[in-house]
Structure 1
Amino acid sequence: MVRILGIDPGSRVTGYGVVELDGGRARAVAWGCIAPPPGPFTGRLHAIFEGVRDVVSTHQPAEAAVEEVFVHRNVAAALKLGQARGAALCAATAAGLPVAEYAPGVVKQAVTGTGRASKAQVAYMVRALLAIREPLAADAADALAVALCHGQHRGRPR
């Protein structure tokens, strides 16, 4: 049995999801969003770091997985996302967790069967795979998808 922390980083909202894998079965342990308060960007980065650190402390995952940065058009937004991702990565590695990184298309492929799935499709499949009845915030669903993706790929050479 292994417990995996999935992280969907964002400078305004960082999603997290903790999944426990036992053989071929997956169970959602916890999920949610870290929403830093408005204010200086450095304060938001600190809140992301602290939030991930608290999730690790509370749920004791053995491994972590983070979604890679996707750059579409806005370079400034991509830089901020990269910094938020760095804060989350630092928190996970400071806790001694091995961290894997996955491209968004790989995560979508692992959960839905297609690398071009919509956010709604990802959320639907995450809820179905983990038997979650209540609606999920998009960032939390994405984080759970990252954890499930890592569960499929862990131990494989990349």
Structure 2
Amino acid sequence: MQAYTVKILGIDPGLATVGLGLIEATSAYEFQALDWLTIETAPGLTLAERVQEIHEDLQSYVLQHQPDMAVVEKLYFSVNKKTALDVAQARGVILQVVQECAIPILEPTPPQLKSCIAGDGAADKQQMQDMLMHILRLTERPEPDDAADALALAIYGAVQGNRVQLLA
């Protein structure tokens, strides 16, 4: 069996906060957390200014770290329609950056992500955090939550992603 290393970027979309989590996978079940952080936009900016800031910051991060795959969570449901629309616009800019950089994209729904990480599509935040710490062998909970969610998305990419295309 051929050894490989793949860098996977998980992205938890948001307008105010975008979570980023970068892992290195050496197999479908061997991971190391390389980095996790958030991109934050100020609420006083216009929508156009906020999505531009997300575009610029994410593009800079992607160009610096050169991930082999990106995993961007799909919007599933939102009670607040205005918030859902704003997040959808931010998500569109995120997808644009990833596509411009020619990075393969996976787009799981929250239940798909939870099922993959915690074994239960309805897992709560604490169950997800516990499994994330166990899988990545972390001694402390990754914070903030958006960055932790992004790490979980990156793990999803390693487990569910089509690494054959990446390694060919």
**Fold match (TM-score > 0.5):** yes
| Secondary structure at 2:123 match in 1 | coil
Q: What does 1:131-150 align with in structure 2 at a 5 Å threshold? A: 131-136=137-142, 137-150=144-157
Tell me the distance in 2 between the aligned counterparts of 1:17 and 1:84.
17
Q: Give 4+ residue runs of structure 1 displaced > 6 Å after superposition.
A: none
Letter in 2 for 1:2: V
Tell me the distance in 2 between the aligned counterparts of 1:54 and 1:125.
30
Alignment pair present for 1:94 and 2:100: yes
| Secondary structure at 1:102 match in 2 | coil
Q: Match for residue 63 of structure 1?
A: 69
Alpha-carbon deviation of 1:56? Answer: 0.8
Instruction: Judge conservation of contact 1:70–1:78 (CA < 8 Å) in 2.
Output: no
Alignment pair present for 1:5 and 2:12: no
Alpha-carbon deviation of 1:5? Answer: 0.6
Alpha-carbon deviation of 1:47? Answer: 1.2
Q: How many residues align?
A: 156
Alpha-carbon deviation of 1:54? Answer: 1.8
Letter in 1 for 2:87: L
Q: 5+ residue gaps in structure 1?
A: none
Tell me the distance in 2 between the aligned counterparts of 1:135 and 1:153.
24
Aligned-CA RMSD value? 1.4
Instruction: Judge conservation of contact 2:22–2:151 (CA < 8 Å) in 1.
Output: yes
Q: Match for residue 116 of structure 1?
A: 122
Instruction: Judge conservation of contact 1:122–1:141 (CA < 8 Å) in 2.
Output: no
What's the % identity of the aligned pairs?
35
Q: Match for residue 85 of structure 1?
A: 91
Alpha-carbon deviation of 1:72? Answer: 3.0
Q: Match for residue 135 of structure 2?
A: 129
| Secondary structure at 1:34 match in 2 | strand
